[in-house]
């Protein structure tokens, strides 16, 4: 890998990598290199690797995005610790960037930098009023058990109803299934617009 841009966005996995490529293109934000760390537990290790990569000296902004999962505050503290272990100053709040540093760092915790959930939670919110989601909710009401990850389960059922079949959240972004103009994406838009400043 080689660092090619002044702006880097580090994300959890492949779906997030594809989603953000499409999301940034939709917002006409160029010159952002997306770095897939391969899982939420890999931020520290992969940030250390990134610092040693050719071209890293040109980086001016580094954004990190991860899921809150079951605990927003734990997720935020974990990502702050990753930054600090790698010698970066971390922002005081999720959804913001540091200022006046050699490399300004920013943190965004999915779905909206204040509650539990994940990227799937955010995408579900954008289609909450659809007829399909109403029917999908009925499916879960009649089950005698709850899946391990209800957000991912609902997304996969919703995408399975599309023609042609779409089998991942990232691919759904490429196929324009998510309405990026929905109000639920506003906080995320404001975060990535920091790369334009």
Rounded to whole angstroms, how far apart are CA atoms 195 and 197?
6
DSSP state of 162: S
Q: Which domains does the chain have, with CATH numbers?
A: 7-117+181-196 (3.40.50), 119-174 (no CATH)
Residues 40/19, Cβ–Cβ less than 8 Å? no
User: In Å, how far are 43, 44, 80, 82 from 86, measured between CA atoms?
Assistant: 10, 7, 10, 6
- Segment 90-119, tens digit of pLDDT: 999 989 999 999 999 999 999 999 999 999
So what's the pLDDT on residue 144? 83
pLDDT > 90: percent of the chain: 86
Extended beta strands in 58-191, E state: 61-67, 104-110
The 10s digit of each residue's pLDDT in 55-72 is: 999 999 999 999 999 999
């Amino acid at each position: 890998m080689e660092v090619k841009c002044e702006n880097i966005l580090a994300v959890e996995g492949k779906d997030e990598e594809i989603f953000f490529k499409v999301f940034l293109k939709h917002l006409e934000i160029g010159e952002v290199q997306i770095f897939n760390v391969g899982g939420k537990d890999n931020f520290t290790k992969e940030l250390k690797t990134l610092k040693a990569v050719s071209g890293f000296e040109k980086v001016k902004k580094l954004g990190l995005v991860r899921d809150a999962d079951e605990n927003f505050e734990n997720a935020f503290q974990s990502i702050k610790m990753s930054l600090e272990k790698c010698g970066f100053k971390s922002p005081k709040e999720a959804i913001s960037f540091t200022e006046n540093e050699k490399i300004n760092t920013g943190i965004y915790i999915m779905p909206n930098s204040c509650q539990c959930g994940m990227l799937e939670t955010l995408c579900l919110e954008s289609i909450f009023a659809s007829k399909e989601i109403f029917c999908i909710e009925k499916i879960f009401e009649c089950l005698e058990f709850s899946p391990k990850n209800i957000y991912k389960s609902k997304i996969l059922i919703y995408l399975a109803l599309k023609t042609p079949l779409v089998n991942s959240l990232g691919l759904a972004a490429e196929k324009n299934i998510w309405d990026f103009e929905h109000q639920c994406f506003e906080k995320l838009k404001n975060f990535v617009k920091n790369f334009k400043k």
